């Protein structure tokens, strides 16, 4: 890793650098991660809820994208899809799981002293949820249950979790945090002209637009780990 010759250090919790006994400062990374469909995987929850609501047949199989496409073909399909999402991201989130490989990636970041922050575009409530479940509280409860905000497990501080009401606010937060990397499943976020140019962008997924892309594509968390740590090996 690069050694920076600055002559000051600040607390690890708030800084991207650590004091180096050689007399300089050893650079660390600030890794930002989106929440929905990047950290938390909802595919099984969407499928179970769609079947129970008879939006798809009992024999229907597919991930979130396939379910969305099928539901949108129904009469008032967009409204039904929005209501389904409101349930899954609220009451249904307790049945969601972490993506495979994320555990290993986060443990490695913690072991090597890198700061991980979660930045999510998530409103307090969904307009399509009759029960008005607090979506941010539901997300935090899920993180707690998974051990994500246990500093001795994954090294993510509870005050390093940010929920923003708009995409613009999310992009500003990423800039303010001075992220080294940001990992998101949405191409429209990484393609946004307001996305901070100093941040290395990683798309968590497989569906990409053609042409030159301003981001690296990683279909799994194992690929994310290889890209991030290979760049600095």
Domain count, the chain: 2
The predicted model scores a pTM of 0.85
**Residue 23 included in any domain:** no
| Buried residues in 108-139 as b, exposed as e (16+ CB within 10 A) | ebbeeebbbbbbbbbeeebeebeeebebbebb
**Residues 104, 162: one domain?**
yes
Mean pLDDT across 190-208: 92
Which CATH number fits the domain that encloses residue 188?
3.40.50.1000
Domain extent, residue 68, equals 43-95
For residues 126 and 171, state if they share a domain: yes
Residue whose tokens read 């769609």: 50
User: What pLDDT band is residue 193 in, cutting at 50, 70 and 90?
Assistant: very high
Check residues 193 and 6 and name the one with the higher pLDDT.
193
Q: What is the pLDDT of residue 168?
A: 98
**Are 106 and 169 within one domain?**
yes
pLDDT band for 216, please (50, 70, 90 cuts).
Answer: very high
Band (232; pLDDT cuts 50, 70, 90): low
On whether residue 19 sits in a domain, the answer given is: no
Residue 114 lies inside a defined structural domain of this protein = yes
- Contact of 40 with 98, CB cutoff 8 Å: yes
Asked if the structure places residue 33 within a domain, the reply is yes
What pLDDT is recorded for position 16?
A: 45
pLDDT at residue 6 tops 50: no
H helices within the chain, ranges in order? 43-52, 64-72, 77-89, 102-111, 135-146, 167-176, 187-190, 221-231
């Amino acid at each position: 890793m690069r050694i920076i010759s600055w002559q000051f250090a600040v607390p690890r919790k708030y800084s991207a650098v650590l004091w180096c006994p050689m007399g300089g400062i050893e650079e660390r990374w600030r890794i930002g991660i989106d929440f929905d469909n990047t950290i938390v995987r909802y595919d099984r929850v969407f499928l179970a809820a769609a079947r129970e609501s008879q939006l798809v047949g009992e024999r229907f199989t597919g991930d979130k994208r396939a379910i969305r496409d099928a539901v949108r073909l129904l009469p008032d399909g967009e409204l039904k899809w929005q209501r389904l999402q409101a349930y899954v991201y609220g009451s249904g989130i307790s049945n969601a799981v972490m993506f495979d490989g994320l555990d290993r990636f986060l443990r490695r970041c913690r072991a090597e002293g890198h700061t991980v922050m979660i930045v999510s575009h998530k409103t307090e409530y969904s307009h399509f949820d009759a029960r008005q479940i607090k979506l941010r509280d539901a997300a935090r409860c899920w993180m707690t249950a998974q051990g994500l905000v246990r500093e001795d497990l994954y090294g993510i501080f509870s005050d390093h979790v940010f929920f923003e009401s708009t995409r613009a606010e999310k992009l500003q937060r990423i800039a303010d945090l001075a992220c080294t990397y940001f990992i998101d499943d949405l191409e429209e976020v990484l393609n946004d002209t307001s996305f901070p140019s100093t941040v290395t962008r990683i798309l968590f997924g497989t569906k990409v637009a053609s042409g030159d892309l301003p981001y690296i594509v990683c279909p799994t968390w194992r690929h994310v780990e290889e890209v991030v740590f290979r760049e600095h090996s």
